[in-house]
Each structure stands twice: as C-alpha cells, then as structure tokens.
Structure 1
Amino acid sequence: MFLAKELEKGGLLDKLTSAHGPTGYEGEVRNIIKKEIENYVDDIKVDKMGNIVAHKKGNGPKIMIAAHMDEVGFIITGYNKDGTLKFRGLGGVNQLAIPSKPVLIGEKKLKGVIGAKAIHLQNAEERKKPFNYSNCCIDIGAKSKDEAMQKVEYGEYAVFDTEYDSFGENLIKGKAFDDRIGCLVIMEILKEKYNCDLYGVFNVQEEVGSRGANISAFNVQPDLAIVLEGTICADMPNIPDNKKATEVNKGPAISIMDKKSIFSNDMVDEIIKCCDENKIPYQRRASIAGGNDAGVIHTVGNGTSKIAAISVPCRYIHSSISVASQKDYLNTVKLLNYYLKKF
C-alpha cells in the first residue's frame, strides 16, 4: 500500500499524533508545528493562550483556516490507598472506552494502565452498568499511596498510549486524529502560494469550549474562515444509513450546520462547485451533532457570516484510537488548495 510521505509510520502525522497535547497542555504539539511551518510563512506568533497564528501575506480578503491542537485526555485528581490514581477527563472522553487502556502520564511519560473491576468479580447488577471515572483507576505499579505521590503529582495530565500505523487499504490508525489530522491539512496548505491574505491558525483548548479560538479569532478578525476537523464517522454495521454522519473513503465532509454554527450557504456552494470542477469526491456531513471552533470564530469581534467547516471522517473519535482514510485526507488538502487559489 502506497502512503503519502506525511502519513507513513514515522512521518509527520505519526509525530503529531504521538505527541502529548491534551487540553491545556499543547506545548509538545505546538513545537512540532512551529518547526515544520516556519519556512513557509511570513510570520508566526504564539498568543498568550498558546494558539499559533501563522501569516502568509497577500492581497484580497483576510482568510483564516483553523484547526485545534488539543486532544481529549485525563487529569490526575487524587490517590488511592493501594497506590492507584484517581482521575477525570480533559474534554469529552468516551468513558465506555477507557477500561484496560494503556496511558502515559505527564512530561516524564510515566506508563500506566486504566484498571477496572474484572468481570469475574462483578455481580449481576454491576454488569449492567458502564464503567466511569468513579469505578476505574490508573495503575502505575505503585505499592502504596506514598509511592504514587512520589511518582505522580496531583494535577498531572495523562493521554492514551496508542501506536500510529497503517492497515487495510488506504487506512491509518492512531490517537488524536481529532484534530491533528486537521492540523496536518493546514500545514500542507501553508507550503503553497496564494494571492489571498492567509492566516493558518492552530488553536488550543477546543475540547473544553473553544477557548483558544475566542482569542485567535479576536486577534485575526477574518473576513472569511474555514475550520478543518477530524469529524464523527459512523459507517458501522449496527448504524442505520440515515444515522451515518460521514463515511470513510467517501471524501471530505462538508457541514451544513452543527450545534454551534449555521454555515454560509454561499461558501458551501462554492466549495462543492470546486469539488465538481476538479473531480474531488465529497460528502455532506449528515448530522448536526457536536460543534467546533467555528462556533466562536464567526461571532467574535465584528464577526463574519462567511464560515465553513471541511472535515476528514474519523472513526471512533474521543477514544483511545481513531481510523481515517488516506484518500479522504489527500482530497481534503486538494480541495482546500483549489478553493484558496480562487481568490
């Protein structure tokens, strides 16, 4: 199977997704992005929130393309007598997917495993209830509370320990595709030349309410904005067709609306026309669930009604692993490139 260089094991997406970047702790991801794009833009600024704002100077409208650097993760909230750790979510982690998953804790990348009561020990009533933070713990191999306190500080973060790789036909798997795959799209786009005044923005803290985007949008004040996302994909056998928000290998997903935004009909029509003219497969995102940074970008400062969201479909987001299609990623890059060159 042929993979684009940036999608190969050891490539740029591997580096981005293997990096630690839970909400509020995006520094490792930020450093990778800054280093990779510095030769392709005129100016890079990091604001006080930690957002990256990269500027490619040009004429015409001020266009902002945005993705978020943070991933869902965990924060350590206490210690148990047996040396295991108490924890809670950073962002909307799928709690049903947390038991028995390996994690890495803090900058030292201390190894741990999310533990839960074995099914053999559960009574009939317990088996009916899903696991959650109150009945799980993180096992770091400590033998006592004192030992655990010496190894892990209160308030340290944890992320899933997931290996990036390719498999099947054109498929890739790894953690944090929401939204490192959107970040990668922008990083590739910034390598090209455009006539518009282009801002490539990499936001922090999207998973806890788009806090970073409030600041970056206020500072940029775009005339037009496009949010790049790794979005919900529900092409599974137990999901009826009318519930399949997006499907892998069907092309970039173009949103109509979600819980935070109603997207510009004019922009959506222009994007679809661009797909048709350049024979790029696409799909409409058939769900209004969820939201992203677009919800604040178009309402900050003077605001803008010119906003759209283009997404790469990703299975199993907000869990320990995601699956996406190389073709969908490449077609998203191709679409955005053609669209921006219209200006």
Structure 2
Amino acid sequence: MAGIPGWEDRVRELVQAELEGLVDEVRTDALGNLIARRKGKGPRVMVAAHMDEIGFYVRHVDAKGFLRVQNVGGFDTRNLFARQVTVHTAGGDLPGLMNPAGKPIHISTPEERNKIPTVADFFVDVGLSAEEVKARVKVGDPVTLRQEGMRLGKFFTGKAMDDRASVFVLLEALRLLKGKKLACDLYAVFTTQEEVGLRGALTSAYGVEPEVGIALDVTLAVDLPDLLSHHYVTEAGKGVAIKVMDSSAISDRGLVRQFVELAEKKKIPYQMEVLPLGGTDAGAMQRSRAGVPSLTLSIPTRYVHTVTEAVHTDDLEATAALLTAYLQGK
C-alpha cells in the first residue's frame, strides 16, 4: 500500500472501509485527514495516527529517460542503494530501480567508493526508452519504495510500519471498543503529511478542538549489536513506550503520570521514552488553538525509515491495550 505525503488516498480508502460499523461519523477534511467520531460522554479526545510514508516525487526526466527525485521525509541514504521502487503515474504504476549515479565498484577509486551519496545523487531506471518514459512519467509523480511485508519470528517487518503499525493499533482499539461504553467523546483521526511537518494533525486538531491529544507513532528500538544500552531509546518486545519528550513536543506530565499509573494498574508492559530527535502528531495537537494537553504512545520499532522496519507483536498488543483502557476510563 503506497501513500507518500499528499498522496494518502489509497491508504485512506482502505482505512475508511475498515471503519464500517465501528464509529458514528466519518468525514474527510481539506488536507485529506480521515476523521472518525465515536460519540461518548466526557472530554473530547483526539487520537491521531498518520497514514503517510516517506517517499519521493519525480523532479526531472533526463534525455535518456532516467528519473531524478525529490525526497519527502527523511532518509539515511546508506539504506537506498539498489532498491526497487514504484513510480505512480496517471496511466498506472511502473516498477523501477533506484541507485546512486556514479561508477560501479569495479572501476571506482577508494575515495569514490567511500563517498556517501545525497538524495540528489540517486536516479530511477524504469527500463523503458526515453520516449516512452517521457510519455508516461511526469514531474510530480510519486515514487515509493517496494518491499514485501512478512512475519519474522514475533515481529512484523516491511516498509511504512511508520506509521501503518499505529493505524492498525487505532483500528484495533476501535474494534476492541465496539459496543462498549467510552469515558470520552472520541475522535480517531488518520492524518496526512506527518512526515513533512505534522501538517494534517495541525489542521485536523484545529477543527476537532480536542481537550486531550494522543498521538500514536513508532519510535526507535535500537537494542542492537554494538550499541550501548543508553542508546536504545526503547527495546523491542518490552511494551508500549510512553513518551516523555522528543524534538517536537514535551508530553503533558499529568497525562504521562496518568498513563503510567494505568499501565501499572492493568499490568500492561510499558517503558519510558526520551527521543533526542524526531517528532509526532502530538507536537501539532499540543500547539493547536490555545493549546492541548498531549502525549504520544509509541510502538518500539527497529530499523526506522528503512524498508525493513520491524515491530514486535507484544508491543502492538500493549499499545492497543493501554489506549483502550484509557478511552474507557478504566
């Protein structure tokens, strides 16, 4: 499923179909956010999970039919070598290959081999003649990375777990809450353009006017070889992460305390998160109108912003369990 910022339509259609029978109202706003309301008595709570994924736009088609791209979202270019991609054109999807321009290893110097390319160095080859490429591909067409999702032990792995894992958790929470009484008036918002500045959450929060904001997103699980424990941020399989802060927001300390106490009461595994760099939709909700008490529940994820993002099934379950317990006021 593809959906870079500004092109979340396919994801939105799938989510809207899954919402059937789970909510009382569904609408789409001007930025493409899908806003689903489950009516209840209590404070107006907005729970946000973003639908978009990092990707690219075509910015140039050269004389030989190779495509140059502009990234939308942050990439570590060390993870972009020799990747399969999809170019989404008006006439249908085209498979392609992404590589950095320059000499192959067999004829390059040691200095050239050690250079880390920038996104501007990469091109896409769709295997067609220049004439056919120019007839089918236009500047502004989206490009997404290709990767088959799969089970890996107790993990799910694939591209765009950031933030489709949280989209799943929010849908799962709504399924768990079906027919049950809420302690709030719930707005489940599937947001757009998070990866380019939390844009969808900003406009949807302005419209919803929540009294409490909860973002669902992934966070770094770097419990990996050759890293010291103080680099971990979170550990996979150790439970939902209750975020204290990141570079977009400092979580409301009252909400942090409330979620910690709830997790301990319900015996839901949790861990505390301090993320040095990165942000979530909580940063936009927090600054909406006159301000909204907000925090993020994070799903620990290995290999973030690659096509092998991996989330542990226990962490998915813990995140859904803590969210539903809060929304029920239990």
1:328 aligns with 2:315: yes
The residue aligned with 1:179 is 163
Q: Which has the higher strand share?
A: 2
**Segment of structure 1 superposing worse, 202-211 or 235-244:** 235-244
- Identify the residue that residue 105 of structure 2 maps to in structure 1: 119
Shift of 1:111: 0.3
Distance 2:314 2:52 in 1: 24
- The residue type equivalent to 2:166 in the other structure is G
Q: Distance in 1 between matches of 2:254 and 2:128?
A: 58
Question: In the alignment, residue 120 of structure 2 is paired with which amino acid?
Answer: S
The match for 2:152 is 167
**Within-5 A mapping of 1:151-230:** 151-168=136-153, 170-191=154-175, 192=177, 193=180, 194-230=182-218
Aligned partners of 1:75 and 1:195: how far apart in 2?
Answer: 43
Q: C-alpha separation between the residues in 1 aligned to 2:326 and 2:257?
A: 11
Supply the AA of the counterpart residue of 1:70.
D
2:324 aligned partner, one-letter code = N
Percent of pairs identical after alignment? 35
Name the aligned partner's letter for residue 290 of structure 1: G
Give the partner amino acid of 1:174: G
Offset at 1:238? 2.2
TM-aligned CA deviation for residue 84 of structure 1 = 1.5
Whether the 8 Å contact between 1:79 and 1:149 is mirrored in structure 2 is yes
Query: 1:135 Cα shift?
Result: 2.5
- Secondary structure of the residue aligned to 2:244 is coil
What SS does the aligned partner of 1:106 have? Answer: strand
Q: What do the CA deviations read for 1:38-87 (whole angstroms, capped 9, x no partner)?
A: 31101001001100110011111111111111000011111233321111
Q: Do the aligned partners of 2:57 and 2:70 also contact (CA within 8 Å) in 1?
A: yes
- Which residue identity lines up with residue 220 of structure 1 in the other structure? V
Paired residues of 1:244 and 1:286 also in contact (CA < 8 A): no
Q: Which residue of 2 aligns with 1:137?
A: 123
Q: Quick check: 1:308 aligned with 2:295? A: yes
Aligned match for 1:104, one of 73, 86, 91: 86
Letter in 2 for 1:73: G
Q: Give 1:9's aligned residue.
A: none
Runs of 4+ in 1 over 6 A off after TM superposition: none
Q: Decide whether the 8 Å contact of 1:99 with 1:131 is kept in 2.
A: no
Partner of 1:16: none
Task: Determine the C-alpha separation between the residues in 1 that align with 2:305 and 2:263.
Answer: 29
Amino acid corresponding to residue 194 of structure 2 in structure 1: E
How far 1:142 moved relative to its partner?
Answer: 2.0
How far the C-alpha of 1:136 sits from its partner, in A, is 2.0
Alpha-carbon distance between aligned partners in 1 of 2:78 and 2:289, rounded to the nearest angstrom: 39
2:165 is paired with a residue whose SS is helix
**Alignment correspondent of 2:63:** 81
- Which amino acid is 2:245 matched to? M
CA apart distance, 1:214: 1.3
Match of 1:318 in 2: 305
User: 1:246 deviation in Å?
Assistant: 1.1
* Contact preservation (8 Å) 1:221, 1:302: no
Normalised by the size of structure 1, how large is the TM-score? Answer: 0.91
Q: What is the rounded CA distance, in whole Å, between the counterparts of 1:309 and 1:115 in structure 2?
A: 36
**1:251-266 to 2 correspondence within 5 Å?**
251-266=239-254
Q: Identify which of 321, 324, 330 aligns with 1:337.
A: 324
List alignment gaps of at least 5 residues for structure 1. Answer: 1-18
Local SS of the residue matching 2:48: strand
* Contact 1:113/1:138 (<8 A) preserved: yes
Aligned counterparts of 1:327 and 1:109: Cα–Cα separation in 2: 35
> Are the equivalent residues in 2 in contact too, given 1:246–1:313 (CA < 8 A)?
yes
Question: Which residue does 2:228 correspond to in 1?
Answer: 240
* Cα deviation code 1:132-159 (max 9, x no counterpart): 2232211100233x23212311110111
* Partner SS, residue 285 of structure 1: strand
RMSD of aligned Cα (Å): 1.3
